Structure 1
Amino acid sequence: MQVLVEEGSCIEVPNRDATGIERRAHGEFVGPRGELASYAIGWTTGVEPHIGRLTVGIGAGNPGGGSFHAVVFENEEGHAFSLTDEPFERVPQGGPDLTAHEARAHEDLPFVWWVADLVMQRDRRAWWMRHWLLGTSSIRTAEVFELAEPILLVSHDDAGYWQLIGTSDADDSTGMVGHLYHAVDEDPTLIDVLDLPPGYSATRARVGDPWTRHRD
């Protein structure tokens, strides 16, 4: 049996100061031997610092069950987790909320970190959160930046730069620099290509069509 990471609901509401959006995304995990876990990730735009949240729940109704809570943050051009005492979210497979001390002493903590790593790799909402954490920049054509054209080409070049292009040809002299996650805020269908590796691009004929990936 293969590992399954299944995306669930995503709740979006204005943050407390109405300066951004608070997102909470849920999902389910099934391991190769039928191990079950539920998870939730979350982040809030419009606030500093950029810190994400994570809950992984295991063993609902069992003596060893519990909910593990962590923060997610930028670390050496990637992300890292740190256990926290503060509960984040309720998840179906979870049990009592564990403190950071209790979680560190739990025999299933290696499994929980394995779940967390696979969620960050396979859940598209986690890709979105990671670009927010890292402050990934993108270059948009003027027409795309002004929302006059839809994004039909996404390029992630070998140097690591992201470029978002509409129906007009790209012009380096008029490119506008902005955060990649802002473009996803405006067009959530970009979420499907947020895992493009360097040296690849993706195209589509119109918004809503499937993306086709290319090696540049």
Structure 2
Amino acid sequence: MDVQITEGRFIEVPTPDASGIDRRAFGEFTGPQGELASYAIGWTTGTDQHVGRLSVGIGAGNPGGATIHAIVVDNGGEYAFSLVDDPFEQVPEGGPHLTAQQARAHEDLAFMWWVADNALARDRRAWWLLHWLLQTTCIQTAEVFDLTEPILVVGHAADDGVWQILGTTNLADDGKVGHLSHVIDEDQTLLDVLDLTPGQAALRQHPGGPWTRQ
């Protein structure tokens, strides 16, 4: 059996000062040998700092059960984890909250990092987090940018890796450069195609319709 990631609930609420959105996504991990873990990821828009949050829990109710907490940061165009003391979330499979020092000494820390890497690689909400964290850019038609046309085509260019967001109008010289995460903010159905590799594209006939990959 391969690793399985099961996406759970997703929460998004305005920040107390209404300057951004606090997003939290939960999920479950099942390993090849039936190993179980739970995780939570989160990020808050509208702040100067681009930092994600992470909790991974194992062994609830058992000796050695634990929950570790970390921040997720941009490390030269790739993500990196850093353990922190402050708890982020309580997750179903998680044991007691560990401080960063306690987590470093835990015998299953490497396994929990493996869970975290799989969650970020396979959970669609984590792809959104990473595009926000790494500030992935995209080019949109002026009509999509102005919200006068729906998104019907998503492309990931083979040559430069730039994401292209189109409606019914072809991309022209008046294309707008923006952040891919902001496009997802407006249309979360794009979560289904954020795993396009360079050279791939996805099309649909109408908003909310099924994507066809090319």
**For the superposition of Structure 1 and Structure 2, which TM-score range results when normalised by the shorter chain?**
over 0.9
Q: What residue is the counterpart of 1:168 in the other structure?
A: 169
1: CA distance between counterparts of 2:114 and 2:161? 27
Does residue 99 of the first structure (1) align with residue 84 of the second (2)?
no
1: CA distance between counterparts of 2:122 and 2:18? 30
> Which residues of 2 match residues 46-125 of structure 1 at below 5 A?
46-125=46-125
Q: Hey, which bits of structure 1, 4+ residues long, moved more than 2 A?
A: none
1: CA distance between counterparts of 2:147 and 2:195? 23
Q: What residue is the counterpart of 2:4 in the other structure?
A: 4
Unaligned runs of 5+ in 2: none
TM-score, with structure 2 as normaliser: 0.98
Q: Could you tell me how far 1:160 is from its partner in structure 2?
A: 1.1
2: CA distance between counterparts of 1:210 and 1:32? 31
2: CA distance between counterparts of 1:60 and 1:190? 34
Does residue 17 of the first structure (1) align with residue 27 of the second (2)?
no
RMSD: 0.8
Does residue 135 of the first structure (1) align with residue 135 of the second (2)?
yes
Write the letter of the residue equivalent to 1:169.
Answer: N
Q: What residue is the counterpart of 1:206 in the other structure?
A: 206
2: CA distance between counterparts of 1:90 and 1:3? 22
Residues matched between the structures, number: 213
Write the letter of the residue equivalent to 1:111.
Answer: F
Q: Could you tell me how far 1:197 is from its partner in structure 2?
A: 1.3
Deviations 1:48-99 (A, max 9, x none): 2100000000000012001110000111211000111010001000111100
Write the letter of the residue equivalent to 2:94.
Answer: G
Unaligned runs of 5+ in 1: none
Write the letter of the residue equivalent to 2:145.
Answer: F
SS at match of 2:82: strand
2: CA distance between counterparts of 1:144 and 1:89? 36
Write the letter of the residue equivalent to 2:164.
Answer: Q
Deviations 1:174-204 (A, max 9, x none): 1011111111010000111112111111111
2: CA distance between counterparts of 1:74 and 1:135? 9
Deviations 1:3-34 (A, max 9, x none): 11000000000012211110010000010111
Q: Could you tell me how far 1:2 is from its partner in structure 2?
A: 2.0
Q: What residue is the counterpart of 2:182 in the other structure?
A: 182
TM-score, with structure 1 as normaliser: 0.97
